[in-house]
Chains A and B, each alone.
Chain A
Amino acid sequence: MTHVARGLIVGAAETERLGRIPDRSAIELHAEAARAAISDAGLTKDDIDGLATAGMPPITVADHLGLRPSFMDGTYIGGGSFLLHVRHAIAAIDAGLCENVLITHGSSARSRVGHPPRVTDPASPPGQFERPYGTVTPPTMFPIGLLRYMKEFGLTHEQLAEVPVAQREWSSRVGRALFRDRITVDDVFASRLVAYPLHLLQCCLVTDGGGAVVVTSATPSKARWWPKPPVYVLGTGEAMAHSMISGMADFTTSGAFARSSALAFEQAGVGPEDVDHLMIYDAFAHLPIYALEDCGFVKRGEAGAFIADGHTRPGGSLPVNTNGGGLSYTHTGLYGMFLLLEAVRQVRGEAEAQVPEVDVSMVQAVGGMFEAAGTLILGSSDACVGR
């Protein structure tokens, strides 16, 4: 099967350390990852003429790195921002605005060194209509529709507990994962309640770290040698649904997941049945359940059983979150970059828990509390042709 590539990811890197990095400020984690990704691509600083980032303004990151880009994108939807940056970078490269776009992420969410505080304006919609009821951090908002989903579709607490159990089977094979011990459903239930119905082991980590990628043209006339196998971007999508979770149209489904993934599938000319490897943004255990259904991998109400039955685990029919996910690997607040980096490793064949023959990998990210979404469908050289 051959598909048309829209763009190439030619450099990809994480910071050397993930977890607790109290001796680095957030901006330096952007910078470390940026240098590593440019080096991974065999490029130098002078080759970079586009910059996209989230969590900090692009001018802050560009100035810190001594870059003077002719294309900047500071699109911010939350954790999935970087997937939108890839989509926008490809459009900018196609339009001739730039040639090589650097996309950076750095966060000191754990140590909070040079990390901007979270502030909600009391006159904003969430400031007026959510914060007075005791919302503060994502766990106090994100799971608010889950009990409605459980009632409508019969999802059990045991099935919900299987999500982190399945992902620990992956992270137990990943040396860089922060949590590597295999766990049971009983371990999940024994961990403290954070926001009923979710226990601690069903909530993501909070870590420091960074990552970056370099995106360039897939046009055959611009083809050149790259030190690592280029990863072909086959399709991209983005969507938004609401601006605060209490505005969710239907609390049992993410309209943003459905629309973003449909755009990416259509552009790539593939469907869920063609996906060999899937990364889903898992800030909390219910997100993979929503995404598997909203992206069309299973029918509505079937994802809990699909995960509990082992389909997403090592050796399963659809490997999901092979780095262990935000529940086990790392979660810097804006985790989407790490979803993308694991998908790149899997397509290149250099992942720690490598899945055999990944020709098509899909990355499905959330933005905010189901507010927005981004999707990338990536292919190996075996799956693609240039335009």
Chain B
Amino acid sequence: MSDAPAKAVPRPTPETAEYWAAAARGELRLPYCAACREYVFYPREACPTCWSTALTWTTLSGRGRLHSYLISHIAAPGFEDDVPYAIAIVELDEGPKLMSSIVGVPQTPEALVLDMPLAVEFEPRGDQMLPVFRPTGEAS
């Protein structure tokens, strides 16, 4: 056993369990509010706009674009070997924005071009699978 700190592992709640269960299957899923025609991120029991509880878990395309990011030179616990590393905001094709990592590309301003197309993949993290994004190589 190593004494080195481990990276943070998400702990699902009853309301987010399907998000993490889907990730373990390789799917990105979110609750969808048909009344507002909007996905709800982060997952919760009711739509924060109209308070409808008639939300439908829906599988997304897993495609998006690099909306914004920073490159951290500070290591979070467990990230000591990763610095500098990007922490990004991904805008999914279906509209929601979420935080993620950008993998398979140097963590540099030159390689990380805003609006570049991305596709989701999943990395093991503790007992969960974590959604991360990789550039598709298509033009921005």
Contact = CB atoms under 8 A, between A and B. Distances in A.
A151 B67 CA distance: 10
A140 B98 contact: no
A151 to B, nearest CB: 5
The listed residue with most A CB atoms (<10 A of its CB), out of B7, B87, B114, is B87
A137 B74 contact: yes
B76 to A, nearest CB: 4
Interface stretch (A35-43, A192-200, A325-333): A192-200
B13 A147 contact: no
B7 A134 contact: yes
B82 A134 contact: yes
Interface residue tally on A, bucketed by range:
35 or more
Contacts of A143: 70
B60 interface: no
Interface string A109-133: 0000000000011110101111111
A328 to B, nearest CB: 21
B106 interface: no
Contacts of A131: 8, 10, 76
A132 B42 contact: no
Interface string A132-146: 111111011101111
A125 B100 CA distance: 14
Given A122-B8, A123-B11, A134-B101, A147 B87 contact: no
Interface in B43-82: 67-77, 79, 82
A147 B16 contact: no
Contacts of B114: 147-148, 151
B7 A132 contact: yes
Contact of A128 (B12, B72, B76, B87): B12
A76 interface: no
B8 A246 contact: no
Interface in A274-326: none
Contact of B71 (A130, A135, A195): A195
Given A128-B12, A147-B114, A246-B98, A194 B67 contact: no
B74 A144 contact: no
B16 A139 contact: no
Nearest to A129: B42
Given A137-B74, A251-B89, A123 B13 contact: yes
B44 to A, nearest CB: 9
Contacts of A192: 73
Interface in B118-140: 125, 130
B72 A140 contact: yes
A134 B87 contact: yes
Given A147-B114, A246-B89, A251-B67, A132 B8 contact: yes
B99 A129 contact: yes
B85 interface: yes
A148 B74 contact: no
Contacts of A196: 70-71, 73, 84, 109
Nearest to B115: A151
A136 B125 contact: no
Nearest to A243: B42
B8 A144 contact: no
Given A130-B99, A246-B99, A139 B72 contact: yes
A29 to B, nearest CB: 26
Contacts of A139: 72, 74
A144 B71 contact: no
Contacts of B73: 192-196
Contacts of B77: 136
Those 3 A-B pairs whose CB atoms lie nearest each other, nearest first: A148-B68, A196-B71, A136-B76
Interface of B: 7-13, 16, 41-42, 67-77, 79, 82, 84-85, 87-89, 97-101, 109, 114, 125, 130
Interface of A: 120-123, 125, 127-137, 139-141, 143-148, 151, 192-198, 246-247, 251
